[in-house]
Amino acid sequence: MSQVESRGTVVIAVDRCKGCELCIPACPPAVLSMSVDQNAIGFAYPELAPGCTGCGACLLVCPDFCFAVYGYDEPVLHEEEDTACAP
Amino acid sequence: MRALMEGSEAIAEAAIAAGCRFFAGYPMTPFTELLESFAKRLPEEGGACINAESELEAIGMAWGAAATGARVATGSTGQGLSLMQESMSEITRAEIPLVVFNMARGQGDYFQATRGGGHGDYRHIVLAPIDVNEAVDITQLAFHLADQWRHPVLIYGDYLLAHTAEAVAIEPRSAESLGGPLPEKDWAVDGSLGGSGRSRNLNPIGMEKGSKGIDPDRFWRLLQEKQDRIEAAEQRFEAEHTEGAELLVVAFGTLARFARYVVRELRAEGVPVGYFRPITLWPFPGQALAEAAAGARTVACLEQNAGQMIDDVRLSLFGSGLPASSVVSIGGISTDAAGFGIGPLLDTEVVRDRIRAALEGRAVDGVLGGPIS
Amino acid sequence: MKGSMTHRMKLDTANPPAQAARQKGSFASGLQLTTDHDLCPGCGEPVALRALLDAVETLGLAQRTIGVVGIGCYTALTSMIDLDLIQALHGRAPSLATGAKRMRPDALLFTLQGDGDMVNEGLQEVIHTAARGENVTCVLLNNGVFGETGGHMTATTVIGQRTKNTLEGRDAAYHGHPILIGDLLAGLGGTSYVARGSVHDAAGVAKTRKYFERAFESQMRGEGFSFVEVLTMCPTGWFVPTKEGPGYLDEVMGSVHVTGELKVGGVLKRD
């Protein structure tokens, strides 16, 4: 078990995402990853893991206006489970 | 108060009296003096005149200025107007009022003026003054019609109009005296509606705010309906001695002044000829022409080109009972060595000779342009 | 060999946070009517547009702004822009902006053009508008291709760049050299502010927005012609995978069309 702190978070308008993935490398704490599922228009979309800083880089680079960004007044702690998996 | 002015100067003064505050142009004979007049006078009136780097930019500057709701004009010769046609097409589609002067080199630009001139499905209102005094009136009317219909209005002049001096009186005309009150320019882009949710897009392809895509079919049908209304409402003409005329002379612009003079002279001698002049080249006054030609055996088109207006004359008389072979050309290509349209046809003796020949069914070896067809 | 990885928790991103928080950025600019558009995945143009709109909003100029839009993919974005606009022809926007500005000197006038529009079809217009010191801001979205027609060479396509009509890459000997329009305009006496930004990453977008603000401020001070060029991705037109667009933009285009401020307050910032 490890604790991860989020200083911010995002709301993602998943259904207008076109799956360009520009937000993935743009995210400084690397807490965005692409979904396995598809959205209503057939694209994978970003999902958020704990550790967002609320910096807004994703919002700046997104061509489809999919992000709203929030900064928490007090950091939020998430418990994450470390699991081993087979090769 | 009347003052002696060259056509170019008088037209610029009339435009300023009509409220024109922006002009852009590129020098070209015989249009240059009109540009000079605006360049001198507009700054004095708080307006602007820009010596554009080409006709392409001149029409673009006029487009942008007119889009803000100001009264605006541009112009050139027919050659320069060829360069402007792409923008003129879009301005028409975007329904932006604009006055465009063609100080043409002769009358070879009739098709360019009356058939839309550029790409797309449209026509401009075209007014062709006979002399400087009428040009003063027509210039003020042109700004009124442009605003009334949200449509470009072309004034078709030439070297003679631009450079003939006449005594003119130029007074601002009220909207009422020019046809009635004008609609509010609520379409004009002044920058004030940003962020309101009601901001404007003055657009030639029917693109609207808030929704993707365009609807050109609906948009252009609306434009065509407007043009149908213009066609019904704005036909203008002048006719003389049509009663009992065996031959009707049809001519436009400054060349019509020669035709009118000769017809009056011949009538005084008892020769049965009449005179008809479209003042609006579009919409062409076809019904009025058909009525004027009702008793005539021959309709003779006097135009300084290879035969362009004659198409509109024949279309107007189609079904009137007059055979197509009775609509003849007594004009033709007639230009000077400089190419400015001051040709041998601009001579009342020559015009008189050709009218008589047409009346007598006699072929004339033309000064230029060959025998009558 | 035994691998180990973290199965990361997925957080709810469908709704605003339940915890006390302040919103630091919303989906779209306050000067956007909609967020829905049909431009390709990974396109840089909506990103640049937002930077422009944010700058207008930040400066409080929305109710005195007129935009003149050229013809390219970005034309499709005009339906979402909540500013007064005039739609121009391909290449002609600087002349329209000139006429509009002369009649509305208090308005902020900007053009929105692509490289095909401005540097191919309308090169003469932008150069003369700049040389006249016309008090307007011309904006270039430069992706080095005609995106709307499907990825053809423009006047800014860099040497070696593959396009639909330079399939083996632009060859200087056969296709000629690219025009570095920002550098060209910066050299003219009538220009007050010239900058070239890029939207390949978040810092580039933030800088681009700052360039827009500085250009608009310069115009509102009446300093003369200002120019903001923005390098934008066109993965479709470049034939590169969408994810590689930002890297390609930065490395291939950005090494020729070098970003930064070129002229500030009428003074050149580079040799």
The 10s digit of each residue's pLDDT in B128-137 is 999 999 999 9
Confidence check: pLDDT of C1 > 70: no
State the pTM of this model.
Answer: 0.95
Token pair belonging to A76: 């939020």
CATH of the domain at B148: 3.40.50.970
- Mean of the per-residue pLDDT values of chain B: 94
> Would you state the pLDDT for residue A82?
62
Say if residue B365's pLDDT is above 80: no
Determine the Cα–Cα distance for residues B90 and B76; give it in Å rounded to an integer: 18
| B367: in domain | no
Residues B256 and B168 in one domain: no
**Residues near C227 by Cβ (< 8 Å), separated by ≥ 6?**
C130, C137, C138, C139, C140, C182, C185, C186, C191, C193, C194, C195, C215
pLDDT score, position A25: 97
The helix or strand, by DSSP H or E, that contains position B226, with its residue range, turns out to be: helix B216-233
**Using an 8 Å Cβ cutoff, are C45 and C39 in contact?**
yes
Q: What would the pLDDT profile of C35-78 be if each residue is shown by its tens digit?
A: 999 999 999 999 999 999 999 999 999 999 999 999 999 999 99
Of residues C79 and A1, more confidence is placed in C79
d(CA B216, CA B219) in angstroms, rounded, equals: 5
Report the Cα–Cα distance between both ends of chain A, in Å, rounded: 21
* Rounded mean pLDDT, B18-24: 98
Distance CA B50, CA C100 (A): 12
Check whether B218 has a pLDDT greater than 60. yes
Same domain, B167 and B303: no
Residue C254, phi then psi, degrees to nearest 5? -65, -20
**Do residues C59 and C213 lie in contact, with contact meaning Cβ atoms separated by under 8 Å?**
yes
Which region among B61-70, B203-212, C96-105, C147-156 has the lowest average model confidence (pLDDT)?
B203-212
Dihedral angle, C-alpha C240, C245, C249, C253, nearest 10 °: 10
Helices (H) and strands (E) in chain B, counts: 12, 15
Is residue B21 over pLDDT 90? yes
Return the pLDDT at B371: 45
Cβ distance of B90 and C89 shorter than 8 Å: yes
Structural domain ending residue among the three candidates B178, B207, B225: B178
User: Tell me, what CATH number does B352's domain have?
Assistant: 3.40.50.920
Count of positions (residues) in chain C: 271
The token pair at B23 is 């002009």
**Rounded Cα distance, C233 and C61, in Å:** 28
Mean pLDDT of the region C73-101: 97
**Domain C-terminal end among B178, B205, B226:** B178
Residue B46 belongs to a domain? yes
Instruction: Give how many domains chain B has, as a whole number.
Output: 2
CA distance B89 to chain C (A): 10
CA distance C29 to C32: 5
Question: Under 8 Å CB-to-CB from B286, ≥6 apart: which residues?
Answer: B235, B312, B315, B316
Q: Which of the following CATH numbers is that of domain A2-66: 3.30.70, 1.20.1740, 3.40.1000, 3.40.630?
A: 3.30.70
Residue C111, SS3 per DSSP:
strand
In terms of residue numbers, what domain contains B56?
3-178
Residue of A nearest to C2 (CA): A87
Contacts of C137 in chain B (CB under 8 A): none
Q: What is the ipTM of this complex?
A: 0.95
Q: How far apart are CA C247 and CA C200, in angstroms?
A: 7
Whether residues B56 and B168 share a domain: the answer is: yes
User: Do A50 and C21 lie within an 8 Å CB cutoff?
Assistant: no
B174 and B29 in a common domain: yes
Give, in order, the Cα–Cα distances in Å from C269 to each of C211, C260, C266: 14, 9, 9
pLDDT reported for residue B205: 85
Report the mean per-residue pLDDT for chain C. 96
State how far the Cα of B145 lies from the Cα of B234, in Å rounded to an integer: 9
Classified as helix, coil or strand, B94 is: coil
Q: What angle do CA C63, C65, C69 make, to 5 degrees?
A: 140
C79 to B197: CB separation less than 8 angstroms, yes or no: no
Distance CA B153, CA B170 (A): 20
The stretch A33-51 carries a mean pLDDT of 97
Say yes or no: B129 and B270 in one domain. no
- A65 and C43 within 8 Å at the Cβ level: the answer is no
Q: To which residue do tokens 């050709």 refer?
A: B354
pLDDT at B164: 97
d(CA C235, CA B152): 42
pLDDT for the residue numbered B369:
42
Top pLDDT among B207 and B133 is at B133
Comparing CA positions, the residue from B226, A83, B110, B115 lying closest to residue C2 is A83
Decide: helix, strand or coil at residue B98: strand
B242 and B346 housed in the same domain = yes
Interface test with C, best of B71, B91, B96, B212 (most C CBs within 10 A): B212
Q: Do C8 and A22 touch (CB under 8 A)?
A: no
| Residue B216 burial (CB count, 10 A) | 14
Q: Which residues of C touch A43 (CB under 8 A)?
A: 41
**CA atoms lying within 13 Å on the CB side of residue B243:** 0
Distance CA A73, CA C175 (A): 57
**Which residues make beta-bridge pairs with B290?**
none
pLDDT at B364: 67
What's the pLDDT at C7?
63
Contact A67, A59 (CB under 8 A): yes
**Which chain B residue shows the shortest CA-CA distance from C30?**
B195
Whether residue B72 has pLDDT greater than 80: yes
Q: Please state, in angstroms and as integers, the Cα–Cα distance from residue C19 to each residue in A56, A58, A71, A73, A74, following that order.
A: 18, 21, 10, 8, 8
With a CB cutoff of 8 Å and minimum separation 6, the contacts of C258 are: C196
The confidence band for C25, taking pLDDT boundaries of 50, 70 and 90, is very high
Whether residues B166 and B296 fall in one domain:
no
| pLDDT classification of A86: cutoffs 50, 70, 90 | very low
Chains B vs A: touching, with 3+ CB pairs under 8 Å? no
pLDDT of B1 reads 80
Residues 6+ apart with CB under 8 A from C1: A87
CB count in 10 Å sphere of residue C15:
7
Q: Which domains does chain C have, with CATH numbers?
A: 45-268 (3.40.50.970)
Distance (Å, whole) CA B334 – CA B107: 9
pLDDT tens-digit map of C138-171: 999 999 999 999 999 999 999 999 999 999 999 9
Do B346 and B334 meet the contact criterion of CB atoms below 8 Å apart?
A: yes
Tens of pLDDT along B158-178? 999 999 999 999 999 999 999
Query: What pLDDT sits at residue B128?
Result: 98
Task: Identify whether the C-beta of residue C122 lies closer than 8 Å to the C-beta of residue C230.
Answer: no
What are the domain boundaries of chain A?
2-66
Same domain (yes/no): B167, B270: no
Six-digit token pair at B291?
């009525």
Select the residue of C3, C27, C43 nearest A63 (Cβ to Cβ): C43
Q: Please determine, for residue B203, whether its predicted confidence score (pLDDT) is greater than 80.
A: yes
Contact at 8 Å (CB) between B57 and C128?
yes
- E strands within chain C? 4-6, 21-25, 65-69, 84-87, 108-114, 137-142, 145-146, 152-153, 191-198, 225-231, 260-264, 267-268
pLDDT in tens, C124-133: 999 999 999 9
pLDDT tens readout for residues C244-269: 999 999 999 999 999 999 999 999 99
In chain B the beta strands, taken as DSSP E runs, fall at 3-6, 20-25, 48-51, 71-76, 98-104, 125-127, 152-158, 165-168, 201-202, 237-240, 247-250, 273-278, 280-282, 298-301, 327-329
Closest to B202 (Cβ–Cβ): which among C30, C80, C86? C86
Query: Cβ C11–A80 below 8 Å, yes or no?
Result: no
Q: What pLDDT is attached to residue A80?
A: 77
- Chains C and B share 3 or more Cβ pairs within 8 Å: yes
Instruction: State whether B143 and B249 are in the same domain.
Output: no
